[in-house]
């Protein structure tokens, strides 16, 4: 239960940051710079362990991460710095899917348990995976049914939730390979930024592409 409270607190903190970012573009810019710097530092730490003194692979992996995180930040900037209410609602929609995916997976996984999903992350179960989809899907329909057609909500919720879960597993895999428990210590009681925002990093760009091109 204590871990669930931590997750909820992190989610509320993220929503507060989003609110402040909408109200103040300088705050948004500063937040994105700090987010990028800390995330790249955590990625670089993992790469140094995985590739052990192979400077070329460390540099290449870090460079790719910088490009990806820059793209991620630009997407956030476009959404939150927009004067369009549709753009702002869209990013809140995507963020809530990720938050509810994380919460649903934890709640269902703890309450029901059952068969493990993968060896990559021993705490992940099939019940947690289904819970992630159920939480994000039902909540999306309830909260955004006045803004988007039901078919669109179902489509986006499932795909973005799947992308968020993939991001979670990807970071878990990297931690497992590098034999570390947390990606950092920036969030007391939580670990690093990548420990908490792993799903967002993958899901937000995918959600953005879906919204723009589908």
pLDDT tens for 15-54 read 787 778 777 888 888 888 888 898 999 999 999 999 988 9
Contacts of 90 (CB under 8 A, 6+ apart): 79, 211
Q: How many angstroms from the chain centroid is the CA of residue 128? A: 16
**pLDDT of the residue at 55:** 92
pLDDT tens for 72-95 read 888 888 887 777 777 778 888 888
- The CA–CA distances, whole Å, from 185 to 42, 200, 202 equal 10, 19, 21
Contacts of 189 (CB under 8 A, 6+ apart): 6
pLDDT tens for 173-196 read 898 888 888 888 776 656 788 887
Higher pLDDT, residue 4 or 26: 26
Give the phi and the psi of residue 33 in degrees, each rounded to 5. Answer: -60, -50
Contact between 166 and 118 under an 8 Å Cβ cutoff? The reply is no
How far apart, in Å, do the first and last CA atoms of the chain sit? 39
């Amino acid at each position: 239960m204590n871990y669930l409270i931590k997750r909820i607190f992190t989610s509320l903190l993220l929503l507060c940051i989003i609110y402040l970012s909408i109200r103040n573009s300088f705050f948004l810019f500063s937040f994105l710079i700090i987010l990028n710097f800390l995330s790249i530092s955590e990625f670089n730490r993992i790469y140094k362990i995985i590739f052990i003194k192979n400077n070329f692979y460390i540099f290449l992996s870090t460079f790719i991460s910088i490009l990806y995180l820059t793209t991620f930040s630009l997407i956030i900037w476009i959404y939150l710095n927009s004067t369009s209410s549709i753009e702002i609602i869209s990013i809140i929609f995507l963020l809530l899917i990720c938050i509810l995916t994380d919460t649903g997976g934890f709640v269902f996984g703890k309450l029901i348990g059952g068969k493990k999903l993968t060896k990559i992350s021993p705490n992940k179960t099939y019940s947690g995976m289904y819970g992630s989809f159920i939480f994000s899907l039902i909540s999306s329909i309830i909260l955004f049914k006045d803004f988007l057609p039901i078919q669109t909500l179902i489509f986006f919720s499932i795909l973005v939730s799947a992308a968020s879960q993939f991001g979670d597993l990807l970071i878990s895999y990297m931690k497992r390979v590098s034999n570390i428990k947390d990606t950092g210590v920036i969030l007391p009681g939580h670990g690093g930024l990548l420990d908490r925002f792993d799903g967002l990093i993958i899901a937000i760009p995918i959600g953005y592409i879906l919204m723009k091109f589908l």
